[in-house]
A and B are shown apart, each in its own frame.
Chain A
Amino acid sequence: MLENPWLSIGKPEQRIDAVEKAAGTVRYTADYSVPGLLHAKLATSTQAHAKIKAIDVSEAWKVPGVRAIVTGKMFPYHIGPILADRPPLAFEKVRYYGEPLAIVVADQEYMAKQAAQLIHVKYEPLPVVNSAREAFQTDAPLIHENSGKYMKIISNVYPVQGTNIGSHIKIRKGDFITAWENCDIKIKQTFSFNLSDHAALEPRCTRVEINPAGKVVVHSTTQSPFTIKKVLNQFFNIDVGNIIVHVPLIGGAFGGKGTVQLEPLAYLASKAVGGRMVKLEFTREEDLITAPGHIGLEATIALGANKAGKLMAGQYTYLIDSGAYTDQAAGITRAMALDCTGPYDIPNVWCDSYCMYTNHPYATSFRGYAHPELTFAVERTMDKLAHKLKLDPVELRKINAIKPGNSSPTSAVLNANNLGDVEKCIDQAKKLIDWDQGERLETADGKVKAKGISTFWKTSTTATNAQSGAVLKFEADGSVNLNCAAIELGQGSKTILAQMVAERLKMDIKKVHVTMEVNTQSDPHQWRTVASSTTFLAGRAVMNACDDAISQLKRTASIALQCSMEDLEVGGGRVYLKPSPEYGVKIQDIALGYKYPNGHAVEGQVVGHGRYIQRHLTPMDKDTGFGKPGPWWSVGTQAVEVEWDPADCSYKILKAVTVLDGGKIINPMTATQQMRGGMYLGLSFASQEGFIFDQNGTVLNPQLRTYQMVRFGEQPAEYIVDFIETPAADGPFGARGIGEYGVIGMAGALANALSTAAQVELNHLPLLPELIWKTRKESQA
């Protein structure tokens, strides 16, 4: 490796939030209380699909301390981030088990809870649509009778009236039909998994008040404070300027806190009690099923190649189980199409990605936004194809690895700048997992050690005008405060941004103070903290702000030093003359303006500001998918080694490897944290997680005790993380995004390893020993 030419970039600077978090003194949203705070509780649906005949609140009103009860009739409108199809409180019908029906506001939480339990709902049950495939049938019961009439909030969403299709996104690249006919080798595989959940440790919580002057003040566990403003404006007619959203630190989100659900409910609750401050905190059960979760999927992939293993044609059909409402699943449907092939060069692509309504809890973004899910299906198919071609699975991936000069499924042109180096990632992962030692080995004690590999890519599918801003305010001691509306969810963004400031201003990182909380009134606009976009978008804004601050510092210093600005340099807490660095002025002496010896003063506080907005992104064409969906593609390869026991089909994960090309790594330790955490989440999802539904659409495991996930001790015995750092010319210091990437290839790699171990095709998740056992039984039969 080259010597690090940087001061702070590329160094494992300690997270700026670690000390307070270790002390337990960080206050998250639910940790604040004020006297007089009222509490809201929801009454939720006990049916997955039913007409609401009557809601009787008379018993509930008898509970002492009840201040208000709000039902769907009081706000009979639909809201949503992409397609406005979801009533905040159900009216006329319920569409999932756990759906909000009414809010009770009371003096104490237990009173609200007691009252909510006394709300009696009369239902007329409707037939339940219990899977995406069922929903797709032409005679399926309709979940939304008028889906064609819903308001579209963004352009790329296409509900089909009279069906359960909430959106249908197409890719038509090249001439798939002819190419398919000419392929030497063809295979087709089907995959599926149920909806699951983010289960961030912090349950969602919000407080809302409406002050007498009409200002709506929101405190919330959100990744998208500016989207809350947009939603309250769009659907509740509040002036954007009158809405203030505060966000403290967040206790994990993984995409689950990116959409807006609680805040409109708490707004309605506060309105019902004359604007008093109302707190709505979800219980774990509500957080799991009432709040949106992670999509389910049924996927069919057909791949065609020539004899040498070069992919010629790919067909992808994705039926996304979005649950009762489209929410971000409509965007995931689009994302699943636009990167449908995985990081492979396939000239002829045909993809139909459907967002399917079912009577399941609705789904929203989940770390990786369609990519962990599509990668599972694609990478399993690649392994199967390799077997059919009698090629090493690693070799097949290398033959087809996408390169600069190729184009994405949406025909976006890829170059050395916007695409990471796929081949290098494959080679390095192959080495780190000791691939050449053998894919499958039987051990002396009758167990099997097997390896699986998975290659992946992802672009950052933001809004075409996604943006970020940053403000740098200098203090009298020469230190600087950074304000930026990137949310700290645990991913370490605030630390990364501090490093960028330290680097650009060539100052000690201890002198960079980052405002941890976000306040939409004092912080510049930021699209959202999602899509691995923060390092890139906020990073560019921060660099821009630094440049602005530098020119102000130079200007004030040029007056103090009686020289021209061009001759000056900023660094080490000083502004000094380039040719004679000993001649200069301390930043602390000019941070609040320069004072002449006679008392006269000039210039004033140095306040740098900067901004950045996505450039040249476009929506996708409705018929072909043509368009430029994101600024760059980070790529990577992951591998897993398992030890599987044929006796009972149980297994241990021995090793998990990630090699990622995310451009320049700003902080190798926070980046490694992100990878390990992502790998954990991906492995937990792949091996254990998922909602269990009965035939009525009831979730049978809505608790952390029954919703299984990987616990301490079940994690891989070894996590190996490595980075390839192909710089992105337009990224801050050459960085691309990395936040979601650790998750993406894990399900594919684990399923490949276990399929190799058990010598069966494991095409469904979660990969419980029971599933392996069943699949073996079936294949032996």
Chain B
Amino acid sequence: MITNGTGKTVVRLHVNGEASDVMICSADTLLQTLREQLGLTGAKRACENGDCGACTVLINGEPMHSCLCLTIETINQPITTIESLRDSAIQQKFIEKWAIQCGFCTPGFILNCQALLNKHPDADDETIEEWLQSNLCRCTGYQEIKEAVKSLLPKGSAS
């Protein structure tokens, strides 16, 4: 049903619990589709190379770099973006712990943290580090982000 190259096709995505029809080329990335067709601009474009995590969304609950996913690969899979985490505990913690400055890395970080909380509620420091190394922040120095996620992970050491 999808033609190669620049031809466009309508496909159905499942984003934030809703079914949405989008028109895509086979080469479109999920990041492009979310931003340009669904107006979900919380996923940021900052490297398009899998290096910074600013474009992170959850696909089937897994944090993924949406800049490296083709939209056609995500058909029929539940996709979660920052826009659906309104008032979540992790968002509140980012605010409370002063983990936000320019805010450009924030959606990606929050989604990655949310997935970590879901998958490893007993994560230790090492696991936290391994997970969050995929996201870059140039403003905060990471301390506050660490505090935010740790405040929801009782097993992480106190600092």
Contacts and interface: CB of A to CB of B under 8 A. Distances in A.
A672 B6 CA distance: 50
Give the size category of A's interface with B: 35 or more
Given A24-B107, A201-B137, A703-B51, A673 B91 contact: no
A23 B86 contact: yes
Contacts of B135: 712
Given A22-B110, A30-B45, A284-B47, A202 B102 contact: yes
Interface string A661-681: 000000001101100110111
Contact of A713 (B6, B46, B47, B133): B133
A377 to B, nearest CB: 24
B79 to A, nearest CB: 14
B148 to A, nearest CB: 10
Interface stretch (A223-231, A714-722, A761-769): A714-722
A670 B50 CA distance: 31
Interface in A306-349: none
B118 interface: no
B106 A21 contact: yes
B138 A200 contact: yes
Contact of A201 (B52, B141, B144): B52
Contact of A709 (B6, B50, B136): B136
A17 B103 contact: yes
B54 to A, nearest CB: 6
B138 A18 contact: no
Interface in A341-390: none
B46 A201 contact: yes
Contact of A712 (B81, B139, B145): B145
Interface stretch (A450-458, A486-494, A545-553, A634-642): A486-494
Contact of B143 (A22, A201, A719): A719
Contact of A22 (B46, B100, B133): B100
Contacts of A600: none
Which among B36, B101, B140 has the highest number of chain A CB atoms within 10 Å?
Answer: B101
A652 interface: no
B36 A33 contact: yes
A717 B159 CA distance: 9
Interface residues of B, number: 51
Given A677-B140, A719-B143, A490 B102 contact: yes
B146 interface: yes
B138 A712 contact: no
Contacts of B42: 23-25
Which among A23, A28, A680, A716 has the highest number of chain B CB atoms within 10 Å?
Answer: A23
B138 A24 contact: no
A708 B117 CA distance: 28
A22 B51 contact: no
A490 B144 CA distance: 14
A607 B50 CA distance: 49
Contacts of A21: 100, 103, 106
B102 A251 contact: yes
B48 A490 contact: no
A704 interface: yes
Contacts of A610: none
B44 A202 contact: yes
Contacts of B50: 705
A250 interface: yes
B110 A251 contact: no
A693 to B, nearest CB: 21
A26 B43 CA distance: 11
A713 B92 CA distance: 22
B123 to A, nearest CB: 13
B64 interface: no
Q: Is the interface of B mostly helix, strand, loop or mixed?
A: loop
Interface in B84-119: 85-86, 91-92, 94-95, 98, 100-107, 110
A31 interface: yes
B109 to A, nearest CB: 9
A284 B136 contact: no
A31 B142 CA distance: 25
Contacts of B110: 22, 24
Contact of B98 (A202, A673, A703): A673
B41 interface: yes
B142 A712 contact: yes
B138 A252 contact: yes
Interface in A23-77: 23-28, 30-31, 33
Nearest to A703: B49
Contact of B102 (A252, A284, A715): A252
A203 B55 CA distance: 13
A716 B102 CA distance: 21
A201 B138 contact: yes
Contacts of A612: none
B155 interface: no
A26 B129 contact: no
B159 A676 contact: no
A23 B107 CA distance: 7
A251 B49 contact: no
B106 A719 contact: no
Contacts of B144: 673, 676
Contacts of A677: 101, 139-141
Nearest to A199: B138
A250 B46 contact: no
A20 B66 CA distance: 22
Contacts of A679: 141
A777 interface: no
Contacts of A19: 95
Interface string B50-62: 1110100000000
Contact of A676 (B46, B48, B92, B141): B141
A25 B83 contact: yes
B51 A704 contact: yes
B82 interface: yes
A717 B146 CA distance: 11
Contacts of A155: none
Contacts of B142: 680, 712-713, 715
B157 to A, nearest CB: 11
Interface of A: 14-15, 17-28, 30-31, 33, 110, 198-203, 249-252, 254, 281, 283-284, 489-492, 669-670, 672-673, 676-677, 679-681, 703-705, 709, 711-713, 715-719
Interface of B: 6, 27, 35-36, 41-42, 44-52, 54, 81-83, 85-86, 91-92, 94-95, 98, 100-107, 110, 129, 132-133, 135-146, 159
Given A24-B106, A254-B138, A680-B140, 9 more contacts: A17-B103, A24-B82, A200-B138, A201-B44, A250-B102, A492-B101, A679-B141, A705-B49, A709-B138
13 contacts: A17-B103, A23-B42, A24-B107, A24-B110, A25-B42, A202-B44, A252-B104, A490-B102, A705-B49, A705-B51, A712-B142, A718-B159, A719-B141
